[in-house]
Amino acid sequence: MRLLSRSEELVLLAVWKLKDEAYCIPIQAHLNKMTGKKWSFGSIFDPLDRLEKKRLLTSCLTEPVKARGGRSKRVYGITREGIKALAEMARIQEAMWADAPALEAELKEA
């Protein structure tokens, strides 16, 4: 399986964490909070679309919501393959960082 890109990985993680509330705006808010960067809508839509094409996510439409001008939300949910992919990413992450030097300490010394 191809590795996920960083943004795909982060978006997928956010969807998994948010459970039932995983539509664009909470995802964006969550990512903003966790990364400390501003995520535009476009930077979330595209990973979401790609993840859905890869069948790591599914989505469904809710009833129309008045606070959205009578439009539905598209709520995302993670699939079994999605969880597998996340597990894979976590394993790689740990493997790569396990023997990494203490970067913060190095910065402080310099």
Partner 1 sequence: MKEKECRPPIIAEWILKTVYSDSWRYTHLGDFFEVYLDIYSSRGRFAAWAWYWLQVLKSIPGFLSNKIYWSVAMLRNYMVISFRNIIKNKWFSLINLAGLAVGMACFVLILAYVRFEMSYDRFHEKSGRIFRIVERESFMRSEVVEYSASSPEVLAPALAADIPEIINTSRICKFFADEIVLESGENSFIESGLFADEHFLEMFSFPLLRGDQKSALAAPGSIVVIQDIARKFFGDADPLGKSVVYKNGSSAMISRSPAF
Which residues are at the interface with partner 1 (CB under 8 A)? Answer: 23-25, 40-42, 45, 49, 61, 65, 67-69, 71-74
The upper half-sphere exposure of residue 60, i.e. CA atoms within 13 Å in the direction of its Cβ, equals: 7
CB of 12 to partner 1, least distance (A): 18
Q: Which is nearer to partner 1, 40 or 102 (CB)?
A: 40
Reading the block at residue 86, the tokens are 């996340």
CB of 71 to partner 1, least distance (A): 3
Q: Which is nearer to partner 1, 40 or 98 (CB)?
A: 40
H runs (alpha helix) in the chain:
6-18, 24-35, 42-53, 80-98, 103-109
CB of 13 to partner 1, least distance (A): 20
Measured CA to CA in angstroms, residue 68 lies from 22, 25, 75 at distances of 16, 11, 14
Q: Which is nearer to partner 1, 52 or 88 (CB)?
A: 52
